[in-house]
Amino acid sequence: MNTDDDCGYFHVCTDGTSLAWMFKDANDFAYGINRIAVCKVLTGVIVLNFSLMDNHGHFLLYGTYTKCLKFINRYKVLTGKWISHKYKVPKYLKHLPTSIIPLKSEEDILDVASYIDRNAIMAGFKGLPSEYPWGSCQLMFKNGKDRLAKCKRIRDFSENELRDLLKTRVTMPDDWLINDEGMIMPECFTAIDTLEKLFKSPARYLYFLTKKLEGKIDLDISQSQKNFVPDMELRKTATDLALKMFGTSDIDSLRASEKIRLARRLKSEYLSSHKQLGRILHLDAKLLKGFV
C-alpha cells in the first residue's frame, strides 16, 4: 500500500451492485462530471480518465492514497447532497462501498484505463465507447476544438452566476470552459495528454480497448478492501479533523465527549469499524458501539 508520501496510480470506484441508481437524467450526469472537477481542485489529484454509469462511477487517479481517499469520499458527500436536495432521499450514499486499488505496473494502468472506457458498452450502451457522453473516452486521440467552440470561460461569469450555475463555492480555474448545459468540459480537468503518452499511439490504445478485461479487474475490485482505511491514514485524518473541530491535533487531550464526536465523523465519512476507531482514539470499542 502506498504511504501518504508516495504518489501512484489508483483505480477508484464505487460499488456498482449496491444501488439501483446514482444518476437518473442528463442533468444528474452533467453535474456529476462537475463534481469530478470540484473534487480534483479540492484534493489536488490528477484525473486521467473516468466514466459515470447510472449507478456507479470509475476514476483513474494519480496522487497519494490519502488524496484519492479524500477525492472519493468528497465525491460521495457532494453527490449525496445533490440526491438529497433533488430527490428528497437523505443519506442515500452514506454506506456506499468504494474501492481504491493501487496499480503496480504500466500494463495495469493501461488495462484499467481501457476497462473504464469500455464500461459503458459493457453496461449496455448502444454505441462505441467514444460516443458515450458521460466518460472521458470521447477525448482520447481526438481534436476536440469543435466541442469547445461555443463554451464560455469561467472568468466570463460573475461570482454569483458561477455559484448558481455550478452549485459550489469552490474557486475553479478561471480559464476552464463551461458548455450551454452548465457542465465543465472534461478537457479542462482530465490529463488526457498524459494518458495518450502512456498508450503511445491510437493503434496501441485500440488494442487495449479490445481486450476483455472485465473478469480480471472485476475480481480485483471484489477482492479489494472496500471502505477500509489503513490505520496510518486514518490516524492522520483523525488528527487533522481534531485540529479542525477542536483546535488541537493531540487526540489524547480531547474530552470523552469530543472523542465521541470525532468517532461519529470518522464512522460517517470513512465507515471505520468500532474496533479501528477504538485503536485510533484510544477508546473502548464496546463502549463506542453504544454511542457511534
Q: What angle do CA 134, 136, 139 make, to 5 degrees?
A: 125
* Residue at which a domain ends, from 178, 194, 223: 223
pLDDT digits (tens, 9 = 90+) for 137-194: 999 998 766 788 889 999 999 999 999 999 899 999 999 999 999 999 999 999 999 9
Q: What is the pTM of this model?
A: 0.79
Residues 152 and 40 in one domain: yes
Q: In terms of residue numbers, what domain contains 279?
A: 231-289
Domain tally, the chain: 2
Burial (CB < 10 A; 0-12, 13-18, 19+), residue 133, is middle
Give the sign of the dihedral formed by CA 102, CA 53, CA 176, CA 112.
Answer: positive
Question: For residue 181, which phi and psi values (nearest 5 degrees)?
Answer: -90, 5
Residue 149 belongs to some domain of the structure:
yes
* Residue at which a domain ends, from 223, 247, 268: 223
Residue 2 belongs to some domain of the structure:
no
pLDDT digits (tens, 9 = 90+) for 12-62: 999 988 899 999 999 999 999 999 999 999 999 999 999 999 999 999 999
Strand partners, 61: 10, 47
Termini Cα distance of the chain: 28
Residue 48 belongs to some domain of the structure:
yes
